[in-house]
Amino acid sequence: RSGFVTLIGRPNVGKSTLMNRMIGQKIAITSNKPQTTRNRIQTVYTDERGQIIFLDTPGIHKAKNKLGEYMVSVAERTLREVDLILWLVEPTTFIGAGERHIAEQLKNVKTPVFLVINKIDTVAKAEILTFIDAYKEIADFAEIIPVSALKGENTDELLESMFRYL
């Protein structure tokens, strides 16, 4: 199996940590180029199950100028062209305008979306459930997967689920 995946979410939710955790000791090619406006391959993950090509998506936000509009158009195209979208969130941040905007964008694409709730080591289980309910009201998710990227909790299960959609 092989396919394209993009990881979206606010700064600091743990995107880099999760990427590093999933890739672990496996062969990975990571680009260190600064953020460009072009769609590009960030990392390639390979194991016995197949290959996952992670694509960088420029931030999904409301455009304030021409460059912003272009970045947003690249982001929207990426969402449409990948096989799977991972929307990473942290349970300490409540749904705000940014999340609602992402949810609106996702309504326009058919790509399956995983809600990946990171940093579950920082909150009680009951809180996570409340959090999940709130997200279910703003978007449709193919899977909802709680993880701790830092501790490596449930990250193998996440990879396993990802391969099922590629």
Task: Name the DSSP class of 35.
Answer: P
30 sits near ligand GDP (criterion: CB under 6 A): no
155 binds, among ligand GDP, Mg ion, none (CB under 5 to 8 A by kind): none
Among 81, 104, 121, 160, binds ligand GDP (CB under 6 A): 121
88-127 CB burial, b ≥16 within 10 A, e <16: bbbbeeeeeeebeebbebbeebebbbbbbbbbbeebeeee
Integer Cα distance of 78 and 73 in angstroms: 9
Nearer to Mg ion, 122 or 130 (CB): 122
CB 107 within 8 A of CB 30: no
30 binds, among Mg ion, ligand GDP, none (CB under 5 to 8 A by kind): none
- Helix (H) / strand (E) element for 163: namely helix 155-164
Nearer to ligand GDP, 16 or 36 (CB): 16
Among 4, 6, 14, 16, binds Mg ion (CB under 5 A): 16
CB 13 within 8 A of CB 89: yes
Q: Cβ of residue 33: shortest distance to ligand GDP, in angstroms?
A: 16
- Number of amino acids touching Mg ion (CB under 5 A): 2
Kindly state the tokens that stand for 77.
Answer: 């195209």
Task: Answer yes or no: is 11 a known binding residue.
Answer: yes
Query: 50-56 and 40-47 as β-strands: parallel, antiparallel, unpaired?
Result: antiparallel
Q: Cβ of residue 19: shortest distance to ligand GDP, in angstroms?
A: 8
Annotated binding site: 9-16, 56-60, 118-121
| Interface with ligand GDP (CB under 6 A) | 11-17, 118-119, 121-122, 148-150
| Interface with Mg ion (CB under 5 A) | 15-16
